[in-house]
Amino acid sequence: MLGGLGDLAGLLKQAKQMKSQMEQMQAELEKKTFEADAGAGLVVATVNGKSDLTDIRIDPKATEDVEMLEDLVKAAVAAAAAKARDAVKDEMAKLTGGLNLPGLGGLLGGM
């Protein structure tokens, strides 16, 4: 019976270490930026590791067609956010050894 408690203590220690590593990873990812463009560079969006839009650049040529501009902005922001999500997935895979552990995404604040 005592061996079982020792195993549990070891698992709890590993869980705490993983939580600490995930918090560190989250902090590092929040500092990174991810950029994507649409319309051959007419619109460039930048997001942080939480997929929050931090910057957008619009070439004046893109303002001639408002509907096209709206589509380009949406496309650039979506592409930059996808890059950020992919980076989070990659870092999570490194942290978990490639295991897909349900619920870990929630520990990262929905990143």
* CATH class, range 2-107: alpha beta
User: Residue 94 pairs with which residues in a beta bridge?
Assistant: none
pLDDT tens figures, 62-98: 999 999 999 999 999 999 999 999 998 888 888 877 6
Cβ-based neighbours of 85, under 8 Å, separated by 6 or more? 51, 111
In this structure, what token pair is assigned to residue 26?
A: 């989250």
pTM over 0.75: no
Q: Is the pLDDT of residue 103 over 90?
A: no
Query: What distances in angstroms separate CA 53 from CA 29, 35, 58, 78, 87, one per listed residue?
Result: 14, 10, 14, 10, 16
| Domain range annotation of the chain | 2-107
H-type alpha helices, 1-111:
2-31, 66-96, 104-107
